[in-house]
């Protein structure tokens, strides 16, 4: 596959594939960091009194919300990488079909 420049719109399959790999690497690193630090996001109550228990519950609720959002972000990064790879693949098929069509037209 070749790089293409269409009136200022430039597409490099190699750069797009590299970007997809980097997105996957970021997603994997975030996923690992989230897993490694799961215990740090859990806050035990400082005491048995109502204030300590409620404060810990609130912080743990926020941590749960953060974890849910972080996991959704990781999934979005993975989906973006997959979409980018699909675009590279589709672009390659279209480019090959166009090249075959041009060669066929030349032979007529």
Q: Is residue 7 part of a domain?
A: no
- The residue behind tokens 């790879």 is 85
Question: What is the pLDDT, as a whole number, of residue 79?
Answer: 98
Convert the pLDDT of each residue in 29-88 to its tens digit: 999 999 999 999 999 999 999 999 999 999 999 999 999 999 999 999 999 999 999 999
Overall domain count for the chain: 1
Q: Burial of 33 by CB count in 10 Å (0-12 exposed, 13-18 middle, 19+ buried)? A: exposed
Q: What is the mean pLDDT of residues 78-107?
A: 83
To which residue do tokens 């590279």 refer? Answer: 88
Q: Is 6 among the domain residues? A: no
Q: Residue 96 falls within a domain, yes or no?
A: yes
User: Within a domain: residue 64?
Assistant: yes
Helix (H, G, I), strand (E, B) or coil at 37: coil
- Which pLDDT does position 6 carry in this prediction? 64
51 falls within a domain: yes
> Residue 4 falls within a domain, yes or no?
no
């Amino acid at each position: 596959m070749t790089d293409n420049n269409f009136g200022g719109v430039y597409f490099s399959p190699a750069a797009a594939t590299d970007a997809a790999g980097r997105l996957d690497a970021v997603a994997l690193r975030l996923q690992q960091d989230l897993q490694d630090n799961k215990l740090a996001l859990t806050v035990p109550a400082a005491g048995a009194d109502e204030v300590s228990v409620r404060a810990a519950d609130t912080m743990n609720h926020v941590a749960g919300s953060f974890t849910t959002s972080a996991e959704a972000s990781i999934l979005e990064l993975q989906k973006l990488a997959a979409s980018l790879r699909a675009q590279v693949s589709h672009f390659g098929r279209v480019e090959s079909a166009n090249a075959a069509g041009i060669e066929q037209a030349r032979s007529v």
